[in-house]
């Protein structure tokens, strides 16, 4: 039997429903950290199933930071108008706008990076690694690692979430999909900073 206090703590931590939290805690013998992992996996699985669903509703949200010197506007889509009006969805959209303002991504996802930009980055990294004197057989692995870091720096969904650096934005979206039960897609964003 799992204590109600433990279930409440897990709900607070993950935002998942009470029954899901109870089931996860029962599976892990009351271990909150393991239960969080189970809920994350369920959220990701649910997100995978829902990814084919059409998103025609959503919100456009504007966020101003630092007394109006930095701002971001995002469009996040979902399947229905009903979900677009929920507090959970609004919170997600606000968090994404804050992320854009704080972390200045260039692209929404890695697939949005133009091939010529990727080739240019790869060439720069190969040149850097070649100059460092590393053996030729590990150059490609090092370049791939540097490219992965580039995605984490400049692609919004690959960035570490500013409120919890243990998860990426794509994980945050997957958690909300699991909780809300609708497909959610970050469509686009714009960031503005005084003097830029």
pLDDT at 15: 63
pLDDT at 101 over 50: yes
Q: 48-81: b or e for each residue (b if 16 or more CB lie within 10 Å)? A: eebeeeebebbbebebeeeeeebbbbbbbbbbbe
**How confident is the model over 7-31, as a mean pLDDT?**
78
Q: Which residue has the higher pLDDT, 55 or 93?
A: 93
What CATH architecture does domain 4-50 belong to? Orthogonal Bundle (1.10)
CA-CA distances (angstroms) from residue 157 to 107, 124, 168? 9, 24, 7
**How confident is the model over 4-8, as a mean pLDDT?**
82
Q: Which residue has the higher pLDDT, 93 or 180?
A: 93
Separation CA 143–CA 128 (nearest Å): 9
pLDDT at 113: 95
**How confident is the model over 106-115, as a mean pLDDT?**
95
CATH topology of domain 114-153: GTP Cyclohydrolase I; Chain A, domain 1 (1.10.286)
Q: For the domain covering 57-108+155-193, report its CATH number.
A: 3.30.479.20
Mean pLDDT score across all residues of the chain: 87
Read off the pLDDT band of 14 (50, 70, 90).
low
pLDDT at 44 over 60: no
pLDDT tens column, 136-148:
778 888 889 999 9
CA-CA distances (angstroms) from residue 193 to 75, 92, 109, 156? 18, 22, 22, 17
pLDDT tens column, 160-189:
999 999 999 999 999 998 888 889 999 999
Read off the pLDDT band of 45 (50, 70, 90).
very low
pLDDT at 47: 47
Overall pTM > 0.75: no
- Domain ranges in the chain are 4-50, 57-108+155-193, 114-153
3-state SS assignment for residue 31? coil
**How confident is the model over 132-137, as a mean pLDDT?**
78
């Amino acid at each position: 039997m799992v204590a109600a206090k433990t279930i409440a703590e897990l709900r607070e931590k993950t935002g998942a429903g009470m029954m899901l939290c109870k089931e996860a805690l029962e599976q892990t013998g009351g271990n909150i950290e393991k239960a969080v992992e189970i809920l994350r996996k369920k959220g990701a699985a649910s997100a995978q199933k829902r990814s084919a669903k059409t998103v025609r509703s959503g919100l456009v949200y504007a966020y101003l930071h630092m007394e109006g010197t930095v701002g971001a506007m995002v469009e996040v889509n979902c399947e229905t108008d009903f979900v677009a009006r929920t507090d959970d969805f609004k919170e997600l959209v606000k968090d994404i706008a804050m992320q854009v303002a704080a972390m200045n991504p260039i692209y929404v996802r890695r697939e949005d990076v133009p091939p010529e930009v990727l080739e240019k980055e790869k060439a720069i990294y190969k040149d850097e690694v070649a100059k460092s004197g590393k053996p030729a057989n590990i150059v490609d692995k090092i370049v791939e690692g540097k490219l992965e870091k580039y995605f984490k720096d400049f692609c919004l969904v690959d960035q570490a979430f500013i409120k919890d650096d243990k998860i990426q934005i794509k994980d945050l979206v997957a958690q909300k999909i699991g909780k809300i039960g609708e497909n959610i897609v970050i469509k686009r964003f714009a960031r503005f900073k005084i003097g830029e």
